[in-house]
Structure 1
Amino acid sequence: MFPDSLIKRFHRTSFRNKLVLTYVLLIVIPVFSALFIYGTQLYRQTTTYYEDILEQLNQRTNVTIDDFFTNLARNSFFYLTDTKLHNIMDKALPSSDKQYLSDSNYMQNAMEQFVLINGNISMIYVQAPNGSLYGSKSDKANQLLDTLKEIGREKLRESKMYIHVPKAFDMNRNSGNQSISIVRYLSDLNLNNGREAYAQIDIYYKSIENMLGGISVGDQKLRTIVLAGDRVIYNSDGRSRIQSASDNEELIAGLAKMKLTQEGSIVSNLRWNGEHYMVSGSLNRVTGWTVLQFIPSDRITNTFIGNTVSYALFGILALIAALALAFFFHRYFANPILKLSGAMKMVDTGNLHNVTVKTDREDEIGRLIMSYNAMIERLKSSRASEIAAGQQQKKAELKMLQAQINPHFLYNTLNAIHSISELHRIDTISTMTKSLSSLYRYNIKYGDEVTVAKELEQIDNYVKIQQIRFLNRFQVEYRVDPEVLSYKILKFLMQPIIENSFYHGLEPKGGQGLLTLTIKRQGQFLHIEVKDNGAGIAPEKLAELTAILEEDGAATGEDADSGRHFGLRNVHTRIKHFYGDGYWMRVHSREEEGTTIEMNIPLSKEDERP
């Protein structure tokens, strides 16, 4: 969908630009989508609006034409208003010249009265069943015969009323000299034996123009055209609108495709005289004329564009306001993240000074910054602990180097002393050298881990040496669960603690002492407890020792230099480094009552590694 280069470029761009682009897309896409949807609906609504107007105007025009000609057609029944007039019109036999002259004068006077009453009528003519012609202007009564010839008598007998447009009619000429006629077959008279009677009412064309011109909706672009057959008899756009026969032919051809009826108006699009129009047309049921209302298509387009421009201007203002809000929110959300990113880059260089970020926000970004600040503080503390541990390790290594001797030479020397002491039967020296030799051999031969049983053997060797040294002033009690003898344990994990009990507990107190070593299983842990009834530890020193152990054995200052609590710290550190933070060593002591040291390490039954 998108080129790979564009996607890669988007991935490489900064978070700020991605955020701005996201804001812009979230704003622009809905605005333009709404503009498209609104524009489509607006165009349909505009089109429907003008369709409705054209249909309503077409219906109004037809109703007006129907009423106009129906009302005027009633004047053709003028002879029913007077008995003498009716008798004249109902004569079946021709009258004498004297009688015809009398009847003609009477008829002319009556018809002139009707013409005067109705200003839309120019003349009235009638043909009686006896063939006599009468008119409001007697000298022009013969025009009825010309009209009957143009229309055809058969067509008149088939209709109640016929609206006749003379062949000589031309809407481009002076309308005051032209007329359109209502012709009616007088079926209500005595028409037996092949007799015929007709009436013709000539209507001023100007009256028709005024009648059609009064139909409007106040929009100068809406136009009305009325056609009688293929001749335009009215055009609201002016008489010069139909300028050539080709224009007329193009209009008639377009109307033929519309297939107009008297049942209702039909709305369609029509190309005429080089322009496009929306047209509503129908056939008038009284006159048979084609009634058209039309509007240029560009009028609809211009209305649509005008309304769309208004919406677009509003959309642009809304877009500007939204972009301003987007810029504000971008600064509100992005700037803290950028500061955080800059601070993290400084951390990458190893600089932990002045890398915290100040904030008073309480939202997710504020919590993120506070978590980062807390992490930096923990990192600083961890770095300080690492430095202190490194210094402690270097000092321990130095002490080990200072105390280092060749273990094989020492082992061989001890064996020689043991042999000489046995030769001279000096038991105490023999026991001490043998035990010490076993300790060194244990140290040389085995790896970091041994079984509990192996560790206990060397504890026993160490205890034998101490019993000779202290002249059996103490007892050692072993409370070891046989189940745990095969479990793994760090080498020399218990010896430093037992050594501490002799030197710092039992020896200072004097007299008989008791040291108890307990090893048992507690769930998934191996629990070790070394307890003595020696001098105990003073509360302030116990607090100091506890603090050192809680700081993961990292001693500083005088404690580190003097080597105080070195054995306990060493054991505690080995437990943490080898087994992890979930395992521990704890010291419990009361002055003059003794000290108890407890350890929890994991159970392990892996094969012993030498």
Structure 2
Amino acid sequence: MPKLQPYLLRKFHRSSFRSKLVLTYVLIIVIPVITAMFLSGIQLYKQTNSDYEEILQQLDSRTHVSINDFFANHARYSFFYLTNFKLSSILEKSKRSSDKEYFADANYMYTSMQQLVLINGSIAMISVLAPNGSIYGSQPEKAGKIRNTLKEIGESRLKNNDYVVHISKEANTKSTSHRISIVRYLSDLNIHSGQEGYAKVDIYDKAIENMLGGISNDGLKLGTMILSGETVVYSSNGSLNELDAEQVQSFTSLISSPAPGDNPTLRINWNNKPYLISSTVNPVTGWTVIHYIPVAQITDTFISNTLNYVLISILALIAALGLAFFFHRYFIHPILKLSGTMKIVDSEHLTPTVIHSHREDEIGRLINSYNAMIERIRTSRDSEITASSLQKKAEIKMLQSQINPHFLYNTLNAIHSIAELHRMEHISSMTKSLSSIYRYNVKYGDVVTIGKELENIEHYIQIQQIRFFNKFQVEYEIDQDVISCKILKFLIQPIIENSFYHGLEPKGGTGKLRLTIRKRHRFLYICVYDDGVGISKEKLSELKMMLMQDPQEMVENLDQNFGMRNVYARIKHFYGESSWMNIKSEEKAGTTIMIHIPYNREMDTDENISGR
């Protein structure tokens, strides 16, 4: 692979402009289409999955509403005794009746309850335990089972709820067609201490199936299962239907027990098939409501939608390639013709170079401009010899102008050699330093490293130390990682020079000069401090007003404070508004000059200067 990539790059560079343009056009079309197809596919799959999750959630909501409404409506039948004063009187008896009286009451209760059962086909039986302990029911032979039901539920649970939906233990054997009961604590009749009554309405299993089977799934392969613990209350047709007890336990272990009101959606594998599962708990019945759909259904829907998009993309690519062929004929052909003509010009044959074109677009203007250029070449060819002669004369003049600086530099070196020969150390040292300063001025460009600038400053300071007989100390505080940073040439030396002439020299006696250069984030901080005579308040105000002027005005007026004006104008022109210069001084206490410019290790001299 590493060898293949350079080969392809060489192949591309050597190919014709026509091939490059066609390839570029095809890539511009194909890459966005494929990228959009890929990203859209991911988004489409997520959206499809989200849509099915939303369907499951909506189905959950409808199921809970149906269950709550169903049991709320059927729980009303436990108030049957409120429709008839005699029924209420029978149930409100505080003591048990005689056998004859009980028989008459039971017969009356049976008739009333049986009428309600006949009216509502979902109800299998109604039974009641009166506060005085008497039991009545629409099926007297089975009415006594209410006591078993109360033991399974527990009195505390009944007292804390309006009603309780209960599945009897007989549900596991499936020996009865009505496993589900609505049991209510008769709080309105239990007025005597120690006496409690309960009503029970038994519901046919078929009624639950009819109620839940009416929830539409819009033709999708959705399945519904309702569990009470590990007992299957309802299961629709589907892959998870007709599970035995062990399978139900295995299935429920894969689903975390959700809290009432939650609506989590998760994926599980059952019998080596993935399913998208929504599992919630009904707050009224406590049943776990499970809706599921095979992941294969989601995948099939996604593939169906994706194929439509792929078909449209292929048609778009075919249309784009057709346009590419048309553009090639319309745009590339005249460019190829122009390229062939330019090859003739390369062989210095200018006569058969005119191309006739009646186009008025950019290509037509390009051809006309080319024809005009050829005409200008023809008319200017005769003047090339004269221009070449003038150029040579200008080069000779420029070489002559460089003789004087080199002569002065060589003369200083000669003086240095003579001084060393006669052991005049001060003259030798000053001449050598002055020669280095002059060489630094002539040899290097406008941008140098801080290391080069420091070398030039050391030569200057060496001359001053000889002049003042080492009466001052120089301290350097330079970060090593800024040595290779590039700055404008002579950016620091004029400030050092000002410190000598306006600070240390008028002071007399000994003095101290400190140069600090540090990197602060993305900026370079330069500080020059001297303990000289300082600057008066009037002069300091004048200098600070100068630093607030427009740099262009400072360039036009360099008569006063030349060094400071020059440095400030240069950093503003070169580094822009992010740079600044500041002066702090007190009379007889010294002066500090600070410069703040952008830090640039790889600054290009020509580009920066031309850009300004």
TM bucket normalised to smaller:
0.5 to 0.7
CA-based RMSD of the aligned residues comes to 3.4
Amino acid at match of 1:272: W
> Per-residue CA shift, 1:558-595, capped at 9, x if unaligned?
xxxxxxxxxxxxxxx99899669xxxxxxxxxxxxxxx
Tell me how far 1:374 sits from its aligned partner.
4.8
CA distance in 1, matches of 2:389, 2:193: 140
SS of equivalent residue, structure 2 residue 293? strand
Amino acid at match of 2:133: G
Task: Please state if 1:327 is matched with 2:318.
Answer: no
Asked whether the 8 Å contact 2:280–2:289 carries over to 1, the reply is: yes
Paired residue for 1:131? 133
Paired residue for 2:310? 312
Amino acid at match of 1:306: S
Paired residue for 1:345? 343
Q: Structure 1 residues 243, 577: CA separation in 2 closer, same or farther (over 3 Å shift)?
A: closer
Task: Please state if 1:370 is matched with 2:368.
Answer: yes
Paired residue for 2:111? 109
CA distance in 2, matches of 1:321, 1:133: 85
For residues 298-447 of structure 1, the aligned pairs below 5 Å read 298-348=296-346, 356-374=354-372
Asked whether the 8 Å contact 1:262–1:285 carries over to 2, the reply is: yes
TM-score by length of 2: 0.59
Amino acid at match of 1:57: L
What number of residue pairs does the alignment pair up?
397
> Per-residue CA shift, 1:470-522, capped at 9, x if unaligned?
xxxxxxxxxxxxxxxxxxxxxxxxxxxxxxxxxxxxxxxxxxxxxxxxxxxxx
SS of equivalent residue, structure 1 residue 333? helix
For residues 533-552 of structure 1, the aligned pairs below 5 Å read none
Q: Structure 1 residues 577, 203: CA separation in 2 closer, same or farther (over 3 Å shift)?
A: closer
CA distance in 2, matches of 1:343, 1:24: 28
CA distance in 2, matches of 1:243, 1:68: 26
Asked whether the 8 Å contact 1:280–1:292 carries over to 2, the reply is: yes
Tell me how far 1:35 sits from its aligned partner.
2.0
Paired residue for 1:70? 72
Paired residue for 1:195? 195
SS of equivalent residue, structure 1 residue 232? strand
Paired residue for 1:61? 63
Asked whether the 8 Å contact 2:82–2:88 carries over to 1, the reply is: yes
Q: Structure 1 residues 319, 577: CA separation in 2 closer, same or farther (over 3 Å shift)?
A: closer
CA distance in 1, matches of 2:209, 2:341: 88
Deviates more, 1:311-320 or 1:265-274: 265-274
Amino acid at match of 1:247: Q
Amino acid at match of 1:308: T
Task: Please state if 1:224 is matched with 2:224.
Answer: yes
Amino acid at match of 1:60: R
Task: Please state if 1:119 is matched with 2:121.
Answer: yes
> Per-residue CA shift, 1:351-374, capped at 9, x if unaligned?
667554332222332233334445
Q: Structure 1 residues 41, 240: CA separation in 2 closer, same or farther (over 3 Å shift)?
A: closer
Tell me how far 1:308 sits from its aligned partner.
2.0
Task: Please state if 1:233 is matched with 2:233.
Answer: yes
SS of equivalent residue, structure 2 residue 87? helix
Tell me how far 1:198 sits from its aligned partner.
1.6
Q: Which has the higher contact order (CA 8 A, sep 6+)?
A: 1
Q: Structure 1 residues 216, 574: CA separation in 2 closer, same or farther (over 3 Å shift)?
A: closer
Deviates more, 1:24-33 or 1:101-110: 24-33
CA distance in 2, matches of 1:190, 1:370: 110
> Per-residue CA shift, 1:426-456, capped at 9, x if unaligned?
xxxxxxxxxxxxxxxxxxxxxxxxxxxxxxx
> Per-residue CA shift, 1:20-42, capped at 9, x if unaligned?
11101111122122223322332
Tell me how far 1:270 sits from its aligned partner.
3.1
Q: Structure 1 residues 245, 331: CA separation in 2 closer, same or farther (over 3 Å shift)?
A: farther
SS of equivalent residue, structure 1 residue 74? helix
Asked whether the 8 Å contact 1:170–1:233 carries over to 2, the reply is: no
Tell me how far 1:382 sits from its aligned partner.
8.7
SS of equivalent residue, structure 1 residue 360? coil
Q: Structure 1 residues 243, 350: CA separation in 2 closer, same or farther (over 3 Å shift)?
A: same
Asked whether the 8 Å contact 1:224–1:292 carries over to 2, the reply is: yes
SS of equivalent residue, structure 1 residue 237? coil
Amino acid at match of 1:294: Y
Tell me how far 1:16 sits from its aligned partner.
1.0
SS of equivalent residue, structure 1 residue 243? coil
CA distance in 2, matches of 1:275, 1:246: 18
TM-score by length of 1: 0.59
CA distance in 2, matches of 1:251, 1:103: 49
Deviates more, 1:330-339 or 1:238-247: 238-247
Asked whether the 8 Å contact 1:226–1:290 carries over to 2, the reply is: yes
CA distance in 1, matches of 2:72, 2:387: 116
Deviates more, 1:210-219 or 1:106-115: 210-219
Asked whether the 8 Å contact 1:115–1:122 carries over to 2, the reply is: yes
Asked whether the 8 Å contact 1:191–1:197 carries over to 2, the reply is: no
Task: Please state if 1:273 is matched with 2:275.
Answer: no
Asked whether the 8 Å contact 1:126–1:198 carries over to 2, the reply is: yes
CA distance in 2, matches of 1:575, 1:238: 99
Amino acid at match of 2:265: V
